[in-house]
A and B are shown apart, each in its own frame.
Chain A
Amino acid sequence: MIRQPPSSDGIDMSHVQFAPEGLAEYAASIKLGRGTDPATQMGPLISAEHRDKVLGYVAIGLADGAEVVTGGHAVAGEGYFAEPTVLVNATPESRVMHEEIFGPVVSAVAFDTEDEALALANNTRFGLGAAVWTRDISRAHRMAAAIESGQVWVNCYQAADSALPFGGVKESGWGRETCREILEEYLETKTVVVSL
């Protein structure tokens, strides 16, 4: 979701660009290739079947009225490559907004207010990871608390560490991996009472 300037809730956001173009520009610049090539930034998908599934979602998005800003195609030649793809204008109900595509496909949606952003973020069966980009520290904390997700990244994405609890809410699962929390998941608590 990308904040659409100008802001309707009175905060000056004029320095922020409505970013699909920037996003698309960066996505288009990603160098696809074999993992053995040091210049490669993104490898292939795991199988032809999975590549077809990912591109199938692009077709579903298009059928639902979304537009492709960049990508959307398989890469000709050897390997199961799919272009990094930016979709815009997908409807809130579209399957590309609700199902896990598991490929390099992002749906960019514009919003006006914080409430709207939050409602869009939580309108999903899943809740594994989410990010907020803002310079407003109160907003960052409000959003981080209100997003239904096991992880929230503020001004970063996918920060991971073995000390950091990882796991989901809603259909993303339950229980936590990594961190101290994980030890609890592999232990039973037994209470022993000794009468004196």
Chain B
Amino acid sequence: MSEPLLHWIDGESVASVDGTIRTGTDPSTGGPGTAVSLGTAADVDRAVRAAHRARTTWRHTGSLDRGRILAAISRRLLAELDALAAMETADTGKPLALSAAEIRGAAEYFEFYAALVNLPAGQVLDIQPNLHVYTLREPLGVIGVITPWNLPLNQVARACAPALAAGNTVVAKPAEATSRTTVELARMAAEEGLPPGVLNVVLGLGPEVGTAIVRHPLVRKVAFTGSVRVGQEIGRIAADRILPLTLELGGKSANIVFADADLDFAATEAVRAYATNAGQVCSSGTRLLVQRQVQDRFVEAVVTATRRLRPGRDVGPLITHDQWETVQRYFKIAEEEGARAEIGGTLALDPALTGGFYVEPTVYTAVTNDMRIAREEIFGPVLVVIGFDTEEEAVELANDSDYGLVGGVFTADMSRAIRVAEAIEAGQVYINSWSTQSVQMPFGGYKHSGYGREKGIEALNHYSHVKSISMRISGR
């Protein structure tokens, strides 16, 4: 076994105070992967105290100087793009081009927020002649950032860049299966001038390290991306601590295709919506709602486009063995519920992929919106297709979900596009192209998909809070 990955605390690489080691697994072969130190509450305490000590230094670093460091981190990520993409692909099995795109996205977060270091600004309020009243937008202090294994570096950058730009310090915990690039980020950030303690990384398991972060009395906010179940557990601890959270918890997003849409383009977008990253994206478009008069030919186009996706080349494996089993369980559930697999519904057919955690991209018809495969987040390359007749029916189906993260509308009728986009209960809606996500666009959920917003100028409000100051003016 190779040397295990170490924590990054207070500007240096450190071993666990008293922990074990996880031997990793390569999801594309099932063989050995990256070994990782599994920390404990003692490591979290060390990291949080370092972050707490660093918070005054960082906050009192001039805003432009903070911005320069964030910009340097962005440039560094791009300079090391190939190496970082190789690490990400080694841990996740995803195609290299996808890893590279995610890392460019991570660099963009730092680039965007580097330019906005002055934005969490206050106001002067005109209230009474004998009071000078103003507000400050202050950092919260130490932020806990807990990220999942699907887009490792990209997700940690999404939370860290605005948190640091707003003057907070961070203790990050990446998923144990995909920790390498998060440690690399902290190391490179330190080399680019980020002071010790401002960005710390503690490796380990959620119940041990994640819980210790949420419980630590010096942590003032937690940003969590992951499952609803874990989000709820974090919420319970946060309730005791009166701890603010940003929760980004996934979805079962509807992609609505009307008969008047550009159907060829919509079909390729529908496939991109559900199969990108082997469906391991919280904002995947996994419920395809199609107007009945074009349903058969649209499904055919989707199946044809799906057939072109080759596991192992265009579609990576499921990233963890557990997730591979989960997807296989849903194949069984689909069968029991009477859905029809138009394509897929099996493990990968290519014998060269044996051992890796691959499945065939899958499209189900004969699905109703009350089936489990239409209601639960599968987190694999699995699409369910449901027909509708009217716009009202489409909106009702789209919103008949516990989730509300994103949605898509394909139609040539722009009035309808706007009506439907406004009626969909979700944080992001795409019209006539799927998931044109970028750092500038606020992202986050309605309902069980979570609360708070990441990305955009909006995110800065979630990593800062307002203090109002009233100063009495005498002699007036």
Contacts and interface: CB of A to CB of B under 8 A. Distances in A.
Interface string B423-462: 0001111111100100001111010000001001010010
Contact of A169 (B127, B128, B241, B465): B465
Contacts of B304: none
Given A174-B244, A191-B443, A195-B436, A164 B468 contact: yes
Nearest to A171: B242
Interface in B373-387: none
A144 B453 contact: no
Contact of A193 (B418, B422, B430): B430
Contacts of A173: 242
B136 A145 contact: yes
Contact of A152 (B243, B428, B433, B467): B467
Given A155-B474, A163-B127, A191 B466 contact: no
A174 B442 CA distance: 21
B471 interface: yes
A167 B466 contact: yes
Nearest to B453: A189
Contacts of B125: 161, 163-164, 179
Interface residues of A, number: 37
B23 interface: no
B429 A192 contact: yes
Contacts of A150: 465-468
B470 interface: yes
Contact of B442 (A140, A156, A159, A189): A189
Given A155-B471, A156-B131, A156-B470, A188 B427 contact: yes
B428 A190 contact: yes
A181 interface: yes
A195 B427 contact: no
Given A174-B244, A174-B465, A191 B472 contact: no
B470 A151 contact: yes
A156 B472 contact: yes
A178 B138 CA distance: 18
A151 B134 CA distance: 10
B467 A154 contact: no
Nearest to A133: B472
Nearest to B430: A193
Contacts of B347: none
A3 B321 CA distance: 63
A164 B135 CA distance: 8
A164 B422 CA distance: 32
B467 A192 contact: no
B471 A154 contact: yes
A73 interface: no
A182 to B, nearest CB: 11
B417 interface: yes
Contacts of B474: 155
Given A159-B133, A171-B242, A191 B467 contact: no
Interface centre among B133, B135, B468 (most CB of A within 10 A): B468
Interface residues of B, number: 46
Contacts of A155: 471-472, 474
Nearest to B424: A190
Contacts of B119: none
Interface string B158-200: 0000000000000000000000000000000000000000000
B101 interface: no
A156 B461 CA distance: 28
A161 B127 contact: yes
A153 interface: yes
Contacts of B127: 159, 161, 163-164
A144 B471 CA distance: 10
A175 to B, nearest CB: 8
A70 interface: no
A85 interface: no
Given A188-B427, A191-B429, A193-B436, A144 B469 contact: yes
A165 interface: yes
Contacts of A165: 135, 466-468
Given A174-B242, A191-B442, A184 B466 contact: no
Interface in A71-130: none
B421 interface: yes
Contacts of B138: 145
Contacts of B140: 169
Nearest to B438: A193
Given A191-B427, A191-B428, A153 B244 contact: no
Given A144-B467, A176-B465, A190-B427, 11 more contacts: A151-B467, A153-B471, A156-B470, A165-B466, A174-B244, A174-B465, A190-B422, A190-B429, A191-B429, A192-B421, A195-B430
Interface of B: 125-128, 131, 133, 135-136, 138, 140, 220, 241-244, 417-418, 421-422, 426-433, 436, 441-444, 446, 453, 456, 458, 461, 465-472, 474
25 contacts: A145-B138, A150-B466, A151-B469, A154-B470, A154-B471, A154-B472, A156-B471, A159-B472, A163-B127, A164-B127, A164-B133, A164-B468, A164-B470, A165-B466, A170-B242, A174-B465, A175-B244, A179-B125, A189-B444, A190-B428, A191-B427, A191-B443, A192-B431, A193-B433, A195-B433
